[in-house]
A and B are shown apart, each in its own frame.
Chain A
Amino acid sequence: MKLLTANRLIDGEAVWLGEGDVWVETIDKAVVAYDKDDEVRLSAVGLMSLNNNVVVDVNLIDVELVDGAIRPIRLRERIRAEGPTTHLHFGKQARPQAAANG
């Protein structure tokens, strides 16, 4: 299982490719690639976004489902998705929505 991730050009925000080929700010709204065909399609959208100067540093990352939630395999990507593990008041984890979701 893979997701397409990048950083938004204007502010560097970590984003993931979501439904309708829209870049979303939280990983839970990302579209999962379950096979090679999906990966190829996501990568093509990523390349187009890169060329259109919407995002930079586009990468496919490995994920798994844990209790129904998307979880990146690598710690690096988990930190990108949530925020610094030491500054819990920074990053996406500090956003009101994230707090409301517990």
Chain B
Amino acid sequence: MYRYDEFDHAFVKERVAQFKDQVERRLAGDLTEDQFKPLRLMNGVYLQLHAYMLRIAIPYGTLAPRQLRMLAHIARNYDKGYGHFTTRQNIQFNWPALGDIPEILELLASVEMHAIQTSGNCIRNVTADHFSGAAADEVADPRPYAEILRQWSTVHPEFSYLPRKFKIAVTGAERDRAAVQVHDIGLHLKKNEKGELGFAVYIGGGLGRTPMVGKKVRDFLPEEDLLSYTTAILRVYNLNGRRDNKYKARIKILVHETGVEELKAQIEQEFEHLKGGELSLPEADVAAIERYFTPPALPDRPEGEAILSREAASNPGFADWLRRNLHTHKNPDYAAVTISLKGIGEVPGDASADQMDAIAGLAEEFGHDEIRVSHEQNLVLPHVARADLKALFDRLVEIGLATANAGLVTDIIACPGLDYCALANARSIPVAQQISQRFGDQKRQEEIGDLKLKISGCINACGHHHVGHIGILGVEKKGAELYQITLGGSGDENTSIGEIIGRGFGPDEIVDAVETLVDTYLGLRTGKEETFLAAYRRVGAAPFKEALYGREAKAA
């Protein structure tokens, strides 16, 4: 785990006091809303439909049990008993009173958490692979680099007023689980032929109203140049990014309008000035931060396999869970465990205060005090002995969190949508719930296999629908909700943006439409090993269009 140093503690404490004063002045009428709004947004406070919303940063999705317990405490005492984990590895509370927020921030600071830079045109919470430090396919743990970026970017004087928000993601494994190619900067850790660590660097990816896949500008950036090169990118963007139109202000538009080769030349030119200077990462500093992320001591537990074989044979539910919710750990005696926050028919990403407390306890008992938030809105215990999996599963069953659906059709990403969000045009959560119920049967889900379904309630694409194998976008048309479908999107190392397949569907039609798509896939796949995405990439949109729209599609 990372730890705050003296600077961090003092800075966050001062910031809380500053915001407390700002809130007091706002409530006393000494600040107008126009004056206050940018100040509250700098502290993660939005105004939504029903109340204020507080977005709290969880850097690279890493949480300690005491932090999760504090989130539970806040949910219970300052909100309505639950929190919502988001695709940016943050948590949002939907109902806090403005007058309580300074107190909430004080509580967060006591466990080394805050809400700074979770909004605004600045560098947002840096995200990373949720299996960092545990995954067997990892080249290196990306979190030390994410932490270096966090420290560098926090209230960075040059980059606190960018043309628009700026998102950075880091992954350290061959398999990209951090969707780096749909971020403003995506960093993919790798080793060169000499065995040295560095990064493939992508810029200009993003979703929203203009979805784009990031362009690779460096195949291998040496580790020591991380901040120099990132600064060069930000500097070129800050100088040249459009400020005349907020919809065209992201770096992806700059890349598109300038051309990646020209922009890359500008970045390299800036980098030449910075390279080898004070932004170079000293090995000793990297090593010091890496020590924060030293994996826990994992004693040998070879008895696990025998326990699992025996228990799985007599407990099909446990066998299902083992098959779906485990990820291979570096240490063969251990596994990384996904705790699904997608119970059948439930709200994706929501966790109650009691569930948060319980998971904190499970992390202490079975998970070496570590919890991760995934960008897919689940929680992860990254280091669990295989010998303890049955005991963990039993406890998860008791708290209703043993759903064996990681990566299946019911493991849906959904933004808060019109039920909460002031920007949304249509609801997302009820659509997710209905699809989850329709496909809730475990055998049917497993027959369908890996399928990423993502739902957004507006064009801003917080539900990442563009990179869903099946994406659903809610829009408002003539005062009614309408749901457009995209197919073939993917947010992994082979990122693709889904294609809009045709006219949208009403709220009462969308679940049937998804079922039609799934049935079409089942009918045309070459075998169970061909996933929905692979089948779509092989056959294209035509059979899916025909299944959805019949003769109308053929005529088109």
Contact = CB atoms under 8 A, between A and B. Distances in A.
Q: Do A and B associate with each other?
A: yes
Interface of A: 7, 9-14, 50-53, 56-57, 73-76, 79-80, 83-87, 90-91
A57 to B, nearest CB: 6
B87 interface: no
Given A12-B98, A52-B29, A75-B479, 9 more contacts: A11-B97, A11-B98, A12-B97, A53-B33, A56-B47, A75-B418, A76-B49, A76-B424, A86-B419
A84 B84 CA distance: 14
Contacts of B33: 9, 50, 53, 56
A74 B479 CA distance: 6
B481 A14 contact: no
A78 to B, nearest CB: 10
Contacts of B481: 75
Contact of A53 (B29, B52, B418, B419): B29
B469 interface: no
A10 B29 contact: no
B479 A73 contact: yes
A86 B433 contact: yes
A14 B49 contact: yes
A54 to B, nearest CB: 9
By Cβ-Cβ distance, the 10 closest A-B pairs, closest first, are A11-B97, A12-B51, A84-B419, A12-B52, A53-B29, A86-B429, A80-B49, A86-B430, A56-B33, A90-B80
Interface string B405-431: 000000000000011100010010110
Contacts of B427: 75, 85-86
Contacts of B3: none
Interface residues of B, number: 28
B175 interface: no
B26 interface: yes
Contact of B51 (A13, A53, A73, A75): A13
B347 interface: yes
Interface in B93-114: 95, 97-99
B347 A86 contact: yes
A70 to B, nearest CB: 17
B410 to A, nearest CB: 16
Nearest to A54: B29
B287 interface: no
B50 interface: yes
B98 A10 contact: yes
11 contacts: A10-B98, A10-B99, A11-B97, A12-B52, A14-B50, A53-B27, A73-B479, A79-B419, A80-B50, A85-B427, A90-B50
Given A79-B418, A84-B420, A87-B419, A10 B27 contact: yes
B23 to A, nearest CB: 10
Interface-central residue, B26, B32, B419, B430, by most chain A CB under 10 Å: B419
Contact of A84 (B26, B50, B98): B50
A10 B429 contact: no
A84 B80 CA distance: 13
Contact of A7 (B27, B47, B99, B420): B47
A2 B420 CA distance: 23
A61 to B, nearest CB: 12
Given A79-B419, A85-B427, A12 B27 contact: no
Contacts of B97: 10-12
Contacts of B99: 10-11
A85 B417 CA distance: 11
B419 A12 contact: no
Nearest to A13: B51
Interface-central residue, B99, B418, B429, B481, by most chain A CB under 10 Å: B418
Interface string B211-230: 00000000000000000000
A7 B98 CA distance: 12
A63 to B, nearest CB: 13
Contacts of B420: 84
A76 B47 CA distance: 15
A10 B28 CA distance: 10
Contacts of B98: 9-12
A57 B51 CA distance: 11
A13 B80 CA distance: 14
Contacts of B424: 76
A37 to B, nearest CB: 26
A83 B80 CA distance: 13
Contacts of B50: 12-14, 80, 83-84, 90-91
Contacts of A83: 50
